[in-house]
Amino acid sequence: MSQDEPELPLALGSVREALRQRGTLELDEAAAAVEAALQRLSAIHPWAFHLHLQRGADATARVVAASGAERDCILWTHNVYLGLNREPSVIEKTIRALETYGTGAGASPPVGGFTGIHDVLARRLARMLGKETALLFSTGYAANVSALSGLPARGDLVLLDRECHASMFQGAALSGAKWMAFRHNDLADLEQMLARDARNHPNIFVAVESAYSMSGDLCPLAELMALKRRHGFRLYVDEAHTFGFYGTKGRGYCDEQGVLTEVDFVTSTLSKATAALGGFIAGKASHCTLLELSAHSYLAQACFPPALAATVLAALDEIETNEALAAALHANNRYMRRRLTEAGFDLGTSRSPIIPIRVADVATLYELAARLADDGVFAQPITEPGVSRGQSRLRFVVTARHTRAQIDTTVDALVRHARALGLLLEARHVG
């Protein structure tokens, strides 16, 4: 880098673009610049990259840094909302399935990777959501890429909320259809696009998330339905951050909002509330058959291990019979939000158990995260490409397993460090 060139941005997602604008296109140069940015961030927050959890996720975990340093932390980075990865009945049923089915599935669905227990799970998910069929994928990412590349075709139009997950944008981009992003949760913007473009396309798909993964905002589904009735598009809803703990017996936020029957495609990962791996799309049988016969990640990717189907089935048993679990999660979410708001944090429009604390300056964000980690509180700094430029934040995922004491410790540490860094003025009201 020459002396008169400005320093590259710290957010790793922006480095390559900044290099491109400077005309630095060569791979090794780009990789070296990204490596240098990583080192600058790691110097601020040694725990931020290349960490591992010694014994996996729970409300607390031993975090091991790249340097080998270890620390017991309250963990706010994992999406196992109900803590079912630690539930004895779930673990026991998974072990029994391992003994019956062995470990890996060994093949994609059409060549025999699909087992009896996958079939039981697919049928149960379809029944639970009141849809004709559910198709299983190896991950939620693969489900979105497959569905949004396989359902729309050349000539069609796909409109996605700007905050939709990367897998949804990648799917739409692969489909050959025209795709555009509307402003986040802005149905007036969506309606303008529909009014302008609708007549020119045989099929229009609108893709949203029920709860957005980086902001914790909920989708205004009732209003969206009114728009759907007026414009007649196909609605695709990713319930990754609501399936299992919103709606009756965990059926999700579409169910809670009373719109589930009108949603054409419901999708979710199985790695969050249901504590396993995999994804699904539920909808009309003929649409699922079309996908099954055309989606490359269905045809050419191994099924997730059969024992994980048992994990999800066991998790669904817990979700359907133990409604106290979701209640505990929502109570923790309310409690943490109340404490943070009283301390003076602006939580914006977020509502779900994902709590963003916005810190626009990336270096300050990493400094805050590092100080918290030193105090045994581990939360994820999110910068580009996870969020757009200037929208960086510290993200807390609340679970049913967090205790009030852990929430209190976390909020107290956050208040202390945010004040020291000038991010939080004296509290408006405390206690």
Ligand X SMILES: Cc1ncc(COP(=O)(O)O)c(C=O)c1O
Residues binding ligand X (CB under 6 A):
139-141, 144, 165, 167, 209, 213, 238, 240, 269, 271, 279
Q: How far is the CB of 59 from ligand X (least distance, A)?
A: 19
Residues with Cβ < 8 Å from 25, sequence gap 6 or more? 19
Task: Identify the three-state secondary structure at position 74.
Answer: strand
CA-to-CA distance for 131 and 31, rounded, in angstroms? 46
Shortest gap between Cβ of 405 and ligand X (angstroms)? 28
Q: Residue 227 CB, nearest distance to ligand X (Å)?
A: 21
Residue nearer to ligand X on the CB measure, 42 or 311: 311
Residue 276 Cβ vs ligand X, minimum distance, rounded to whole Å: 9
The Cα–Cα gap between 140 and 407 comes to: 29
**Nearer of residues 208 and 336 to ligand X, judged by Cβ:** 208
Q: Report how far Cα 16 is from the mean position of its chain's Cα atoms.
A: 24
> In a 3-state reduction of DSSP, which class is residue 61?
strand
In angstroms, what CA-CA distances link 68 with 62, 65, 117, 394? 12, 5, 40, 24
Find out whether 174 and 145 touch, Cβ atoms under 8 Å.
yes
For 398, phi and psi rounded to 5 degrees? -85, 140
Q: Specify the residue for token string 């939080």.
A: 424
User: Under a CB-based contact definition with an 8 Å cutoff, are residues 369 and 379 in contact?
Assistant: yes
Closest distance to ligand X from the beta carbon of 36 (Å): 28
Which residue, 240 or 312, is less far from ligand X as judged by CB? 240
Q: How far is the CB of 91 from ligand X (least distance, A)?
A: 20
Closest CB to ligand X among 77 and 409? 77
Q: Packing angle between helix 166-175 and helix 140-150, nearest 10 degrees?
A: 30
Give least dist CB 348 to ligand X, A: 18
Instruction: Take residue 54 and report the two structure tokens written for it.
Output: 């010694």
Task: Give me 278's structure tokens.
Answer: 């995999």
Cβ distance to ligand X smaller for residue 42 or 305: 305
Q: Report the chain's terminal Cα–Cα distance, integer Å.
A: 51
Of 47 and 280, which CB lies nearer to ligand X in the complex structure?
280
Torsion of CA 207, 213, 216, 219, to 10 degrees: 10
| CA distances from residue 103 to 42, 114, 306 in whole angstroms, order as listed | 37, 13, 7
CB of 312 or CB of 370, closer to ligand X: 312
d(CA 141, CA 389): 23
Taking the complex as a whole, the smallest distance from the CB of residue 31 to ligand X amounts, in Å, to 25
Q: How far is the CB of 176 from ligand X (least distance, A)?
A: 22
| Min dist. Cβ of residue 20 to ligand X (A) | 27
Give the H or E element holding residue 348.
none
Strands 204-209 and 265-269: what pairing? unpaired
Q: Which of 361, 383, 363, 373 is nearest to 414 (CA)?
A: 373
Closest-by-Cβ residue to ligand X is 140
Residues, the chain, total? Answer: 431
C-beta of 276 vs 365, nearer to ligand X: 276
Q: Which is nearer to ligand X, 115 or 167 (CB)?
A: 167
Decide whether 37 or 224 has the Cβ nearer to ligand X.
Answer: 224
